[in-house]
Amino acid sequence: MEHYDLLLAIVGAVTLAATAVPLLFPGRPLSFPIAYVGLGMALFSLPFGLPTADPIAHGGFVERISELAVIIALMGAGLKLGRPFGWAPWRPTWRLLGVAMPITIIATGMIGWSIVGLAPATAMLLAAVVAPTDPVLASDVQVGPPGEDDEDDVRFALTSEAGLNDGLAFPFTNAAIAAAGAATAGEWLPGWILDDVVVKIVLGLLLGFVGGRALGWLVFHIPTQRKLAESTEGFVALAATLVIFGVTELAHGYGFLAVFVAGCMIRRQESDHSYHEILHAAAETTERVFSTLLLVLLGGAVADGVLSGLGWQGAVASVLIVLVVRPLAGLVSLVRTRTPRGERAAIAFFGVRGIGSIYYLAYALGRADFADARRVWAVLAAVVLVSVVLHGITASPVMRRLDEWRSMASSTA
């Protein structure tokens, strides 16, 4: 009972921090993820007798909490984007998905195999789980809430990339799961291509499009005495997220993809309506609570020794993934685009890793036996920590400088 009461107090304090901490550090070189990880390290280092924050021992809990955080963040990301779908408006996004993501997966797999010494299937898993950029922890470099005029190319590219590649990492994660239980690629490759790559992606995109259009009509156009959008409740965002995700998963599609596409489709309905701000605020608040809890647990895992199996090889790998692989892959993907050089560098640099990667690793380890699972957790935890600290410190100054540069360029044009 004492542990229960303590956990209630901690959850309450974490929830309060989720709303208070971002207000304490607006525009400062200390983001809320850094503060929450530090809080977790402090809490789990004190003699409170808290349960261990071992991500393997509590893999099911980590998977479900991180899944909820990601799908709610994906709905919020979709609701931010007012730019219509199309090849030209989304060109940087398609480049990042079609070029940067595969390069990142191949390079990370080689690092995991050659430097960390992981088995091929485990190296493939590491590559898959670090492939997606994060829609949860990258708010400082993403498009702001609906109603804010800040949908420049850098913020749009990073927001839309995070929204889509969180779903597109699923086929590669499932490939690693299949490879871990098969003797040869011939046993799993044909079925993987048909089911995990084609069928599930198509279903995710289709159900997200149809479901988003239907929910958008329900919210803004259903002929009742009082339109749903005229109310002040934002719980529709959470309801839409759960409905779209649940239906798509039951239909054997990728729910992550469907939720993001549905968010974009809802935003396209009455795109200037003030209710979009209410929807986004509700999604953001809910997502922040879940992400805060996970970041505190990440800090607790660090305090409980999740990095103990890292070794110098894992440390080198984590730095290479964040500081070399993603920036170079991003720059290559944006070659010969109209995006200015400084903005291309910012897009390439801010490949934030976080909650999405934690989800994918917990998901995979719950479905197959991988050699060196603890070492993969150590490398991933190091990658997320490096990203949280580095990107958290640099996001506000870099984005502010880019905004100033654009303002000067427009005034002299």
Full domain range(s) for residue 218: 2-412
Question: CA–CA distance from 338 to each of 88, 92, 287, 342, 391 (Å)?
Answer: 11, 9, 34, 12, 25
Task: Write out the chain in H/E/C secondary structure.
Answer: CHHHHHHHHHHHHHHHHHHHHHHHCCCCCCCHHHHHHHHHHHHHHCCCCCCCCCCCCCHHHHHHHHHHHHHHHHHHHHHHCCCCCCCCCCHHHHHHHHHHHHHHHHHHHHHHHHCCCCCHHHHHHHHHHCCCCCCCCCHHHCCCCCCCCCCCHHHHHHHHHHHHHHHHHHHHHHHHHHHHCCCCHHHHHHHHHHHHHHHHHHHHHHHHHHHHHHHHHHHHCCCCCCCHHHCCCCHHHHHHHHHHHHHHHHCCCCHHHHHHHHHHHHHHCCCCCCHHHHHHHHHHHHHHHHHHHHHHHHHHHHHCCCCCCCHHHHHHHHHHHHHHHHHHHHHHHCCCCCCCHHHHHHHHHCCCCCHHHHHHHHHHHCCCCCCCHHHHHHHHHHHHHHHHHHHHHHHHHHHHHHHHHHHHHHHHC
Number of compact structural domains in the chain: 1
Compute and round to an integer the Cα radius of gyration of the chain.
21
The answer to whether 125 touches 171, Cβ cutoff 8 Å, is no
C-beta atoms surrounding 63 within 10 Å: 21
For residues 229 and 274, give the distance between their C-alpha atoms in angstroms, rounded to a whole number: 9
| Tokens 């940067």 belong to residue | 100
CATH number of the domain at 232, please. Answer: 1.20.1530.20
Q: What is the pLDDT along the chain (413 residues), one digit of tens a residue?
A: 456 676 677 767 766 766 666 666 555 545 678 888 988 898 889 887 778 889 999 999 999 999 999 999 999 999 888 888 888 889 999 999 999 999 999 999 999 999 999 999 999 999 999 999 988 777 778 887 776 666 788 999 999 999 999 889 999 999 999 988 765 666 788 889 999 999 999 999 999 999 999 988 887 776 554 555 555 566 788 888 999 999 999 999 999 999 999 999 998 887 777 777 888 888 888 888 888 889 999 999 999 999 998 999 999 999 999 999 999 999 999 998 888 889 999 999 998 888 999 999 999 999 999 989 999 999 999 999 999 999 988 888 888 888 888 777 666 65
Residue 112 has, within 13 A of its CA and on its CB side, a CA count of 29
Token reading at 412 = 């002299």
What's this model's pTM, rounded to 2 decimal places?
Answer: 0.91
C-beta atoms surrounding 267 within 10 Å: 23
Residue 12 has, within 13 A of its CA and on its CB side, a CA count of 6
Report pLDDT for 225: 47
Task: Write out 200-241 in H/E/C secondary structure.
Answer: HHHHHHHHHHHHHHHHHHHHHCCCCCCCHHHCCCCHHHHHHH
